[in-house]
Structure 1
Amino acid sequence: MPRQLWLVPWGVLVVLAVVQMIAPGWVQLAFVFAALPPLTGLLFGPWRTAALSVAVLVLLMLPPTQPAHINEPDVAAMTAIAGFSVLVSWVRSRYTRELVRVGSVAEAAQRAVLPPVAPRVGAVSCAGLYRAAQVAAQVGGDLYDVREGPYGVRALVADVQGHGLAAVGTVAALLGTFREALLDERELAGVALRLDRRLRIEAGTAGPEPSELFVTAVLLEFPPDEDAVRLTSCGHPPMLLLRDGGVRELAAVPAPPLGLGLEGLTPHPLTVPLCPGDVLLGYTDGVTEARNASGAFYPLVERVSGWCGAKGGPSPDPQALVDFVWRDMTGFASEVRDDVALLALRPAAERASERA
């Protein structure tokens, strides 16, 4: 809060005292004096509220500024109001400090569990965005990550069942497993199986019995010796490919969500050749399930296609794409009720020249 704002109640008090001195005796301004301490207590701390309250009481008892017809019971009532205002200010200040502390802890937790994605990982430019649905929460059930390993740059976009603080432990476990598996597993299917096993351990069902904890996920891999991307989806919405002003969905062979213990989990990666300027967009269902006032879902593919067509030229950079989708979605939806995660990836144009 600007320091100059503290002068406002004192300025009002001075003006009030001057008006009281020059006003006719029938003018009653005692109620304005009484309102100053509570209003000050809503904005400032207890010490400043107490200082202003003392000044108000002094002016009420000085003959030049004492309102007409005010008596000792009135002064006693004003004293009680001033004391209550100081108490309210103290309680408000205490809870404000606690909220700031909790917010700082939540921000630190978010950066520890889901740190901002680097602008560039290996030969891939990146941009990500995460917004939690739970009010005042900065962490929730959606996640993404991009890491470089011995088998190229690998990325993950996933959505944990449920949202809010209850899903944070699962998010942390999945990210840790992904970062370990990308170093050890030669194939994306192996990474997916490691994530599935981690989820089943988290749910306490490491055997074949079904689990109530599940995650939808899409895994991507940019091999170091190919101008292509491999992706595999476990019950997750399809990735979008932006190329030459157009947008299409990349539909990998579907596999069940992770953690359910269903048959046929082993996914079959889809390999897509890439051209210079291609951009890939991963997202969670919080984007496509956002509704407007009439109940219509947000048409992601249609809106991104229209935006790319209006821009013309090559595909946008990842950060511009993420910013557009978030701005357009929040403008379209009357309320966003689920966590939202966006991850845009663009392989560098020099990949082909480096291989040559």
Structure 2
Amino acid sequence: MRRGREDPGWLRGEPPPRWALLAPAVALVVLVLAQRLTPGDVEIGFFLAGLPPVAAFAYGAAGTAFFAALVLLLLGVPGLGIAHARGTDLATVAAVGVLSVVIAWVRRRRDAQLVSVRTVAEAAQMAVLPPVPQRVGGVGCSGLYRAAQRGTLVGGDLYDVRAGPFGVRALVGDVQGHGLAAVATVAALLGAFREAVLDDTGLAAVAARLDRRLLVDATAASVDHPELFATAVLVEFPPGLDLVRIVSCGHPPALLLRGVAVEEVTVEPGPPLGLGLAGPAPPAVTELPVRPGDRLLLHTDGVTEARDKAGHFYQLAARVPVLARDPDGLVAAVWRDLAAFTAGGPPDDVALLLLTLPDPGVYRE
């Protein structure tokens, strides 16, 4: 599984790169040599006063204080011939150095807090949206998740694959809204799905359980959120049968990959979850014959509703035959292609789940 994690990078909690650590020392040596090679009536040594602020971006308080003291030494000792500093000049340089030390101390504390917050966020993702194994009950799995809200790892999309007494079941969904506000709904749906995999006989019953979960949560929600809903597609690989069952609750259609052919799976659409599926008309279950090696690509509308600068929608079904030949895998190839199409990534959460259908004999005893 590929996570939604992006490298936080320098100044976002990660250690500074090597060039940032070397820059102050290299600049110091270059300025000292340049002053030595410059005629005596031209002073460029005072540029050394800018080194402590530069060091503050990469070093802690102690390292920044070392550079500040070294600069004061070079400028304050006349015999070194670096600069002819007066008392007021040295006082200004010293003040800049002290301020740089304070900045370095504050930055280190902030970096430590960012690392702590990110660690908690990663733990939350592991609890809410753990990695999908490469195989579940004989079904090959590959997933990718990208949250739209920058700096977050979990948003409003979800997916899971579980094995139970009724076969292997998979869920891909998209809850109302996105970002951190939707995480509680995502957690509730995933919890209900994992229970349904073990307890509910039919796929329609699984959808009904998820629907009831949202109805109960909507009743308990504040007046600011009078209703909760989510689109979802449920897939079931029943044991001993050469078919896959699919229930769609207002969700974009899955893609069936059979060799080089790609087609949208036609199912009878049902209403989104949270609008009362448990009523007299249960959601329709579509049965699709399968063959060994067939693949199902499930996705959220963050993929198919992404647009380029000209306003054109991303044509997933048309791109998959080309991307399927990528050696890094189809899921990774789709994300790279989508990011290039939208010039940096779509504005909505994105979830992709590729299920490689097993030999139907896997389930037969």
Hey, what does 2:283 align to over in structure 1? Answer: 267
Is the contact made by 1:255 and 1:264 (CA closer than 8 Å) also made in structure 2?
no
Hey, what does 1:340 align to over in structure 2? Answer: 350
Q: How much does 1:305 deviate?
A: 3.2
Q: How much does 1:7 deviate?
A: 4.8
Deviations 1:242-272 (A, max 9, x none): 1121111112111110112376762110000
| Aligned counterparts of 1:3 and 1:326: Cα–Cα separation in 2 | 30
Identity of aligned residues (%): 54
Deviations 1:324-351 (A, max 9, x none): 21111111113410000001111223x3
Hey, what does 1:55 align to over in structure 2? Answer: 70
User: Out of 125, 134, 141, which is 1:126 matched to?
Assistant: 141
RMSD over equivalenced CA pairs, Å: 2.3
Hey, what does 2:119 align to over in structure 1? Answer: 104
Q: How much does 1:70 deviate?
A: 2.2
Is the contact made by 1:144 and 1:341 (CA closer than 8 Å) also made in structure 2?
yes
**Count of aligned pairs between the two proteins:** 345
The residue type paired with residue 277 of structure 1 is G
Q: How much does 1:323 deviate?
A: 1.5
User: Out of 317, 338, 342, which is 1:329 matched to?
Assistant: 338
- Once structures 1 and 2 are overlaid, which stretch shifts more, 271-280 or 85-94? 85-94
Q: How much does 1:97 deviate?
A: 1.6
- Once structures 1 and 2 are overlaid, which stretch shifts more, 2-11 or 124-133? 2-11
Q: Secondary structure at the match of 1:237?
A: coil
User: Out of 159, 170, 195, which is 2:185 matched to?
Assistant: 170
Hey, what does 1:152 align to over in structure 2? Answer: 167
Provide the TM-score with structure 1 as the length reference.
0.90
Is the contact made by 1:233 and 1:253 (CA closer than 8 Å) also made in structure 2?
yes
| Aligned counterparts of 1:187 and 1:55: Cα–Cα separation in 2 | 75
Q: How much does 1:22 deviate?
A: 5.5
Q: How much does 1:276 deviate?
A: 1.6
Is the contact made by 2:172 and 2:233 (CA closer than 8 Å) also made in structure 1?
yes
| Aligned counterparts of 2:122 and 2:53: Cα–Cα separation in 1 | 33
After the TM superposition, list the runs of 4 or more consecutive aligned residues in structure 1 that deviate by more than 6 angstroms.
none
The residue type paired with residue 275 of structure 2 is L
| Aligned counterparts of 2:28 and 2:228: Cα–Cα separation in 1 | 61
Deviations 1:281-302 (A, max 9, x none): 1000000011111110100111
| Aligned counterparts of 2:28 and 2:102: Cα–Cα separation in 1 | 21
Where does 1:1-356 land on structure 2 (aligned, <5 Å)? 1=16, 6-21=21-36, 23-204=38-219, 212-261=227-276, 266-308=282-324, 311=325, 320-334=329-343, 335-349=345-359, 351-352=360-361, 355=364
- Once structures 1 and 2 are overlaid, which stretch shifts more, 30-39 or 275-284? 30-39
Is the contact made by 2:74 and 2:82 (CA closer than 8 Å) also made in structure 1?
no
| Aligned counterparts of 1:220 and 1:23: Cα–Cα separation in 2 | 75
| Aligned counterparts of 1:82 and 1:267: Cα–Cα separation in 2 | 69
| Aligned counterparts of 2:362 and 2:206: Cα–Cα separation in 1 | 30
Q: How much does 1:13 deviate?
A: 2.4
Provide the TM-score with structure 2 as the length reference.
0.88
Q: Secondary structure at the match of 1:27?
A: coil
- Once structures 1 and 2 are overlaid, which stretch shifts more, 19-28 or 172-181? 19-28
Q: CA separation of 1:131/1:3 partners in 2, compared to 1, >3 Å: closer, same or farther?
A: closer
Structure 2, unaligned runs of 5 or more: 1-15
